[in-house]
Amino acid sequence: KEQLDVLRLREQFPVLEREVHGKPLVYLDNAATAQRPLSVIEAMDDFYRRYNANVHRGVHQLSVEASEAFETARKDVARLLNATSDREVIFTRGTTEAINLVANSYLRPRVKAGDEILISHMEHHSNIVPWQLLCEQTGAVLKVIPINEKGELMLDALEDLIGERTRLLGLVHVSNALGTVNPVREVCEIARRHGVPVLIDGAQATPHEQVDVQAIGCDFYAMSAHKMYGPTGIGALWGREALLEEMPPWQGGGEMILRVSFDETTYNELPHKFEAGTPNISGAIGLGAAVRFLFDTGIEKIARHEQALLEYATERMSKIEGLRIIGQAAHKGPVIAFTLDGVHPNDIGTIIDHHGVAIRTGHHCAMPVMQFFDVPATARVSFAAYNLRAEIDVFLNALEKARQMLV
Ligand SMILES: Cc1ncc(COP(=O)(O)O)c(CN[C@@H](CS)C(=O)O)c1O
């Protein structure tokens, strides 16, 4: 199978030429945010230089061009997720806002005291707190599917937890704190048998694998552009058209209306019903360029390359004395969280930063995962298409130096 030409790919990412503390940048914090290729940077720059205008309202040429680019980006996202129609793609600020939209517009009108919302123990806070807020306001109850010592979902428990009071199941596709890739198709099948709609948090999946919402069988799918080589402040919620049609608007303002009067206001059709106010036009154009970057580069090739990096790094890290990998699922995304006996992860991150290596340390917005593994925090390396095996070697050398200093 055709391999990724990584050295050639790196030329598209200007930031990778950076030096940090006098050393070449080794960027391994991709689960936090990925870097941007020239095609994304130039698409947004070109918009501001040549056809910046507001969308959907103007009759002048720039507004026509801006509107076309904006709606083309929506079609690109629909293609990325294999949506039935681009009417099912709602632009949001990112995964967090997408999940909040579902909590407020889909679930709030449906849920009553004693109803249940089911999530997993490995969720990111953005797929925990919106549901807790809803529970506080409605008397609904949050239920949690447990995970095992490897950081894998305990599917058997799901069958016991899901029931006629379950109003929604929220599940992360790929855990940012463990790397676990969840069996989303299987979970959606179980949920469908119980008539329970499923929201999948896809923030860490869309950069690393071909996502097909039809094959997964979920009802909502949330994503962020900045995880998949696009800009921050833009992402999308995909939802089944029939569900989105029934849902009330969740923010009021311009764009999301058809007619406003003090007696009555009628709302716009999908997807505009959920997009109040002037949208993040340049962000959407950047997201569209990021989708095209993924397709042009080859998502399968990226996935194979990242899995090879994951295997190489895991194999070498498993030999380091006192290093514990947190998250040993059989099926993982390109994320390795770890601890070093006797050392606080923050100290590891600080020291290896002096070697030019960027990783993340902390709770990764997944405090329940830290509690489960009884660690205050972890250090986390996460890979992207442009990372090299040689960069893993630099990381491991820096880690060894940190270990010698700290242990
Ligand atoms: C699984 C998962 N779900 C939701 C989010 C939130 O994405 P936003 O674009 O911020 O809305 C993230 C972002 N995780 C970053 C920041 S905590 C990380 O360092 O892992 C995520 O990984």
The answer to whether residue 9 scores a pLDDT higher than 80 is: yes
The answer to whether residue 24 scores a pLDDT higher than 80 is: yes
pLDDT tens for residues 239-277?
999 999 999 999 999 999 999 999 999 999 999 999 999
Test site for ligand 1: of 93, 227, 361, most ligand atoms within 8 A of the Cβ: 227
The topology under which CATH files domain 41-296 is Aspartate Aminotransferase; domain 2 (3.40.640)
- Of all atoms in ligand 1, which is nearest to the CA of residue 177? 20
- Of all atoms in ligand 1, which is nearest to the CA of residue 201? 3
Q: Tell me, in angstroms, the distance from the centre of ligand 1 to residue 66's CA.
A: 29
Q: Is residue 90 a contact partner of residue 251, using CB atoms and an 8 Å limit?
A: no
Sketch the domain layout of the chain as residue ranges.
6-30+298-406, 41-296
What is the pTM assigned to this prediction?
0.98
pLDDT tens for residues 65-84?
999 999 999 999 999 999 99
Mean pLDDT of the chain: 98
The answer to whether residue 28 scores a pLDDT higher than 80 is: yes
Phi, psi of 351 (to 5 degrees): -70, -45
Q: What is the pLDDT of residue 357?
A: 98
Average pLDDT over residues 201-208: 98
Distances from the Cα of 155 to the Cα of 21, 120, 172, 357, 402, angstroms? 46, 10, 14, 37, 39
CB-based pocket (< 6 A), ligand 1: 31-32, 94-96, 124, 126, 172, 176, 201, 203-204, 224, 226, 235, 360, 364-365
Q: In this prediction, does ipTM exceed 0.95?
A: yes
Q: What token pair was written down for 234?
A: 């833009």
Q: What token pair was written down for 362?
A: 């902390």
Residue 314 burial class via C-beta count within 10 angstroms: exposed 0-12, middle 13-18, buried 19 and up = middle
% of the chain surpassing 90 pLDDT: 99
Nearest alpha carbon to residue 164 among 219, 114, 218, 107: 114
* Residue whose entry in the numeric block shows the structure tokens 């989303």: 184
Q: What is the pLDDT of residue 58?
A: 76
- Of all atoms in ligand 1, which is nearest to the CA of residue 174? 1
Q: What is the CATH number of domain 6-30+298-406?
A: 3.90.1150.10
Q: Is residue 379 a contact partner of residue 313, using CB atoms and an 8 Å limit?
A: no
Question: Rounded distance, CA 218 to CA 294, Å?
Answer: 23
Q: Tell me, in angstroms, the distance from the centre of ligand 1 to residue 106's CA.
A: 22
* Residue whose entry in the numeric block shows the structure tokens 């996502």: 211
> Which pLDDT band, with edges at 50, 70 and 90, does 338 fall under?
very high
> Which pLDDT band, with edges at 50, 70 and 90, does 407 fall under?
confident
Q: Is residue 197 a contact partner of residue 175, using CB atoms and an 8 Å limit?
A: no
